[in-house]
Amino acid sequence: MLAKKEEIKLKKKANQIRQDIISMIYHAESGHPAGSLGMTDVLTYLYFKFLKTYPGEPSNHKRDYLILSNGHICPAIYATLAHKGFFKMKELLTLRKLGSRLQGHPHRTQLPGLETSSGPLGSGLSQACGIALSLKQENKKNQVVVLTSDGEHEEGNQWEAIMLANKYKLDNIIQIMDRNHIQIDGTTDEIMPLKNLKEKYESFGWHVQEINGHKFKEIHNALELAKNLKGQPKIIIANTTPGKGVRFMENTNKWHGKAPNHEETHQAIQELKKEYEKIK
């Protein structure tokens, strides 16, 4: 069970990270707020409750691996890493600036805490499979958590990796899918209908859970079950709201890849600050 006190801390931390995401993208005048805000709760739980991480020694051999496949939501992971202490908070405002370590898509060798470079959608699960297979061959117990988007499941490479993970029984992989139903050109139903992803994954030999990706108790329960389940790869389909926490950004692909202007930024941050005060 997730204690109430822990849940409150996680909610407050997620709210602060969302404020930083908005500020980062505003100062960059470019970025992807919808998916970043939508996956903030999942990332907050992972880094502040679930994953073994070592901010002062990011390559520690005991660490768990977080693979961000949908690299365009990197403002969320950058802000989370900064709050965790991987680098200084002030660096967040360098997002997408010339010479910055915080590129528009993650660059593995430039920033502590990043395990892979990402950008081309559909490749992250394959990368995670390679890491997970290597760890199993060396009899290591590290967890590999890979974040993917629902839109990535329009990519053929994704399904090759799904088959490979089942073939090698990569039970050290936990995939968390951002099921927000949008992509840059519209909804996933409009662009390429994905139908019942739970049934599809089960037919490929994966263990599947579906949760509300904004409820910390559900995130907690799903990850604890997945961590202890052996013999097959696991996926958690996290149903999320794109733009979560900012009402005018929620549930529209308009904000998939658009930066807010000054007035919109002020409105968004004020809304988040008011919500922070209500958390108890």
Domain hosting 74: range is 4-278
Name the strand (E) or helix (H) holding 257: none
- Would you state the pLDDT for residue 267? 98
- Would you state the pLDDT for residue 119? 84
Q: Do the strands 207-212 and 65-68 form a parallel or antiparallel pair, or are they unpaired?
A: unpaired
In order along its 280 residues, the chain shows pLDDT tens digits of 899 999 999 999 999 999 999 999 999 999 999 999 999 999 999 999 999 999 999 999 999 999 999 999 999 999 999 999 999 999 999 999 999 999 999 999 999 999 999 988 999 999 999 999 999 999 999 999 999 999 999 999 999 999 999 999 999 999 999 999 999 999 999 999 999 999 999 999 999 999 999 999 999 999 999 999 999 999 999 999 999 999 999 999 999 999 999 999 999 999 999 999 999 9
pTM here is 0.97
- Would you state the pLDDT for residue 180? 97
Contacts of 22 (CB under 8 A, 6+ apart): 33, 37, 246, 260, 265, 268, 269, 272
In this structure, how many other beta carbons lie within 10 angstroms of the beta carbon of residue 12?
14
* CA angle (32 as vertex; 86, 219 as ends), nearest 5: 60
CATH number for 91: 3.40.50.970
Q: Which residues of 160-174 are buried (b: 16+ CB within 10 A; e: fewer)?
A: ebbebbbeeebbbbb
Q: How many structural domains are present in the chain?
A: 1
